[in-house]
Amino acid sequence: MANNRRSMYLRMVSGSLIRRASRLITAVLAIAIGATILSGLVTIYYDIPEQLGREFRSYGANLIILPRGDSKITRETLAKLENLIGTNKLVGMAPYRYQTVKINEQPYIIAGTDLAQAEKNSPFWYIEGSWGNSDEPERVMTGHEIAQTLNLKLGDSFTIQGVKFGEQAQASRQDLSAQENQKRDSARQNFHRKLSVKGIVSTGGAEEGFIFCDIDMLDELIGSSFRADVIECSVIADANELANLSSRIEQELPELQPRAVRRLTQSQDIVLGKLQALVLLVTVVVLIITMISVYTTMTAMVAERRREIALKKALGAENKLVMGELLDEGILLGIIGGTLGVFLGFEFALQVSLNVFGRAINFQIALIPITIAVFIAITVTASIIPVRKVMEIHPAIVLKGE
């Protein structure tokens, strides 16, 4: 018997929604548009830190790792560090080994690094020519300043000379000819290598005074194993996360000294905070507009169905029963509109992310029930006042009339 009532109830509610399709579409659209914008903005809100974090990674490394005291960083420590930070958080991790070399008897500094990682860390470097790589280690990058001093152009060759690891340097003797001094330099304790210019680095900073090469080639040239002087890391993290990460590094790898690059992390946090506040504000405004829209739609729905409501009351329906039916219709509209909005909202967020940040975003499964629940709550809240008007509908007055 109860099934008959439920079945009739469903027939009335579904009939009202299906056979009044135009009204249904209008109401669902009002809710779906709100839900789309809301779920889209919420998706963006939670995705902004990661997206913006990645954007800020274009401005260079935000975590510098130095060895403690006179020690150097070994390849084992580097691997441990990589594990500690986590590859999913790392945009780039470039170890640097600095070595003084001579070119035409003048001293310069060559920096051996993992060029692929350095490129990830420093996408803002302007490179005339192209980045060097480990496949062609003799083709290196020189800083703009060095290129100017030595009058080097792309493709030009130059020879570097230096003292091998653990060997004593021998100063040039003024009583010897240049040829004799060169002969002394090419002795067993020294190294020399002919290199060519693959790229000229312009950064506006200290990097213009270095030669950049593959760190493995430099190790081999110097004749020692991997010994990094510094590691530059680009980590997706805000200031707090970086501080926590630094503490963990200090605890777990005491031979290292992590230093967060404050100007970057703080700028990131300020911009992020402002953006999130803006998105939150827009979200609240959209929420209010959606509520007003649902309120208007429900008010129109009640006004449009005054006769039907009056008839139901004339047939003996209690106010609360009719109000319950209208609220249930509202809930159903909230579910339909909310569900549509979740998926359209993700598409909206995806398009925004692709256009603004140039990256896709992840769909948050948890947003489905949350958005639907929020929109049911919005619909019910916005429907309360219109639905209460049912109590003011007097069947005798409404059902009379020509």
Residues making contact with other proteins (CB under 8 A): 1, 4-5, 7-9, 11-12, 15-16, 18-20, 307-308, 310-318, 321, 394-396, 399-402
Least separation in angstroms between residue 362's CB and other proteins is: 42
Least separation in angstroms between residue 50's CB and other proteins is: 48
Q: Indicate the residue among 8 and 288 with the shorter CB distance to other proteins.
A: 8
Partnered with residue 101 across adjacent β-strands are 108
Least separation in angstroms between residue 338's CB and other proteins is: 23
Name residue, tokens 């993992």: 114
Instruction: Using CA atoms of 23, 26, 31, 33 in order, give the dihedral in degrees to the nearest 10.
Output: 170
Q: Are strands 190-202 and 126-129 parallel, antiparallel or unpaired?
A: antiparallel
Least separation in angstroms between residue 369's CB and other proteins is: 30
- Contact between 346 and 354 under an 8 Å Cβ cutoff? The reply is no
Q: Indicate the residue among 2 and 171 with the shorter CB distance to other proteins.
A: 2
Q: Indicate the residue among 323 and 378 with the shorter CB distance to other proteins.
A: 323
What is the per-residue burial (b if ≥16 Cβ within 10 Å, else e) of 316-333?
ebebeebbebbbbbbbbb
- Give Cα 113 distance to the centre of its chain: 26
C-alpha 238/C-alpha 62 separation (Å) is 10
Q: Indicate the residue among 115 and 332 with the shorter CB distance to other proteins.
A: 332
Partnered with residue 67 across adjacent β-strands are 256
Least separation in angstroms between residue 49's CB and other proteins is: 48
Least separation in angstroms between residue 295's CB and other proteins is: 23
Q: Indicate the residue among 197 and 332 with the shorter CB distance to other proteins.
A: 332
Least separation in angstroms between residue 299's CB and other proteins is: 20
Q: Indicate the residue among 18 and 365 with the shorter CB distance to other proteins.
A: 18
C-alpha 213/C-alpha 202 separation (Å) is 15
How many angstroms separate the Cα of 274 from the Cα of each of 199, 282, 351?
39, 12, 21
- Contact between 161 and 144 under an 8 Å Cβ cutoff? The reply is no
Q: Indicate the residue among 2 and 366 with the shorter CB distance to other proteins.
A: 2
Q: Where are the beta strands (DSSP E) in 245-366?
A: 256-260
C-alpha 68/C-alpha 78 separation (Å) is 14
Instruction: Using CA atoms of 292, 293, 296, 297 in order, give the dihedral in degrees to the nearest 10.
Output: -150
Least separation in angstroms between residue 327's CB and other proteins is: 17
**Helix 21-56 with 319-356: angle, nearest 10 deg:** 40
Least separation in angstroms between residue 339's CB and other proteins is: 23
Close Cβ partners of 210 (under 8 Å, ≥ 6 residues apart): 108, 109, 110, 111, 142, 143, 146, 201
